[in-house]
Amino acid sequence: MIRPEDALKKPLPLPDADSAVFWEGIADGKLLLQHCLACHRVHYYQQGICRDCGSSRLEHRAASGRGKVHSFSVVYRAPGPAFKGDTPYAVLLVELEEGPRMISSLVGGDPEKVEFDMAVELVCEPVGDGMALPCFRRA
């Protein structure tokens, strides 16, 4: 059950064994992608083995941080009390220069001016407790 006081707090990421390195990278200002050394696919979601070929030979490499808006949605109605002060805000589906797509949000710009294929760049936003979130701003 959600306690009333928790509804006012934004949820923070909960790193697990597969994603701990990723979140440490974000806190350090780097978006780490997993590169499969067997089939050369690049993955955004952290995992123990390659989703395509099953190899466990995955290597973390920092992404360029550049991408473009593949799709987006502007949120006018907050999903909960913690997000009330943020509306309107833009949720982005960013296509990274390296290929993978990731869901993120826009910072530092007018959410109503977001366009398809708009160039964006990574911004790691500190959220407390030594954590940060991968967000994007217009490049």
**From candidates 19, 24, 35, 38, binder to Zn ion by CB under 5 A:** 38
Is residue 55 part of the contact set for Zn ion (CB under 5 A)? yes
The alpha carbon of residue 31 and the mean position of all alpha carbons in its chain are separated, in whole angstroms, by 8
Q: For residues 90-119, which are near Zn ion according to CB under 5 A?
A: none
Is residue 62 part of the contact set for Zn ion (CB under 5 A)? no
**From candidates 7, 8, 20, 53, binder to Zn ion by CB under 5 A:** 53
Q: CB 60 → Zn ion: shortest distance, Å?
A: 14
E strand spans, 29-115? 32-36, 42-43, 58-62, 66-75, 89-96, 101-105
Q: Is the dihedral of CA 10, 124, 23, 104 positive or negative?
A: positive
Is residue 36 part of the contact set for Zn ion (CB under 5 A)? yes
Is residue 32 part of the contact set for Zn ion (CB under 5 A)? no
Number of H helices, E strands in the chain: 1, 8
Contacts with Zn ion by CB under 5 A lie at 36, 38-39, 41, 50, 52-53, 55
